[in-house]
Structure 1
């Protein structure tokens, strides 16, 4: 019996780049946080609108790197592997995993803190909405993005070969 469950043959070597890409991603998250540090919404409505805007931007960014087959960050790499292995759309796997992670967070918070502290409605909305938006964005933008990125016309191939 094969003990690698078929993962070895499907492993993409580019996924080894997840660690350095995670550091770069962390840098840009910190950089963006510094740039937006002056933004301090005071009302619940403005905080909610800002959260929804952030979810939309993150979902769009995730859609781009998934469609373009760029090295994903670790959680999305897990979601992509599960999506491929279970033959389910990435967006559905994303919702399931995010909700599972929220549930695990709630359980850990209850056990160690005696109550749910840092997990609120925004966390749950994000877990439910991000995958749904990725599904919509994929449907809307995948053909155009793939055409831009993977069009095999001679001029693009010549430029690509010259760049190497």
Structure 2
């Protein structure tokens, strides 16, 4: 019984985390000064095709799954199937949160840009706190980073920087080729890359122990 309750809590905070992550990504899009490295490829594809951000999110994550198979030189069907399900859920959340925030004013002033960016950073940091605490299968992008780190025996932090940089460069190339602008990449991309990591570190230190106690308690 206790095990079932714990699993239910882990799944709940995981799904809430994915939703907040998509909402944070949506606010970074609303800010209009560049999205986070993780979101940059799906958003670049959305800017250069008639597809929605949700659909391009699924497509980008499918590419990340294929890259894992290439690096590992094997197909881990169970893990990849779970990652694909997570990708579809996150893609749905992306389109839903974009629809949900459709009535908000455009960021035509510096104040509104800062507000949207701040909301984005806070939501993403909270999302990652829940996401990591749940300790459930990671999304394809994070799984790819782990695969890179384990295959080439490099620290996860360096693998993360490498993945982010490749994602940003690819997104920038796509935007420059097809819409002749930076598109998905801007100062907000670099603020997110630095700021989210710092905020997540603080939240994990301050809030994760209490959150873990609630999730994994036996009564």
Q: For the superposition of Structure 1 and Structure 2, which TM-score range results when normalised by the shorter chain?
A: 0.5 to 0.7
User: How does the TM-score come out when normalised to structure 1?
Assistant: 0.68
Partner of 2:110: 44
Unpaired segments ≥5 residues, structure 1 = 156-164
Which structure exhibits the higher relative contact order, with contacts defined as CA atoms closer than 8 Å and separated by 6 or more residues? 2
1:73 matched to 2:139: yes
Q: Distance in 2 between matches of 1:139 and 1:25?
A: 26
Q: Is the 8 A contact 1:18 1:72 kept in 2?
A: yes
1:120 CA displacement: 1.2
Q: Distance in 2 between matches of 1:39 and 1:119?
A: 22
Q: Distance in 1 between matches of 2:138 and 2:188?
A: 24
Q: Distance in 2 between matches of 1:135 and 1:6?
A: 30
User: How does the TM-score come out when normalised to structure 2?
Assistant: 0.53
User: What is the number of equivalent residue pairs in this alignment?
Assistant: 147
Unpaired segments ≥5 residues, structure 2 = 1-70
Partner of 1:145: 211
Q: Distance in 2 between matches of 1:31 and 1:115?
A: 27
- Structure number with bigger Rg: 1
Root-mean-square deviation (CA, aligned residues, Å) is: 3.2
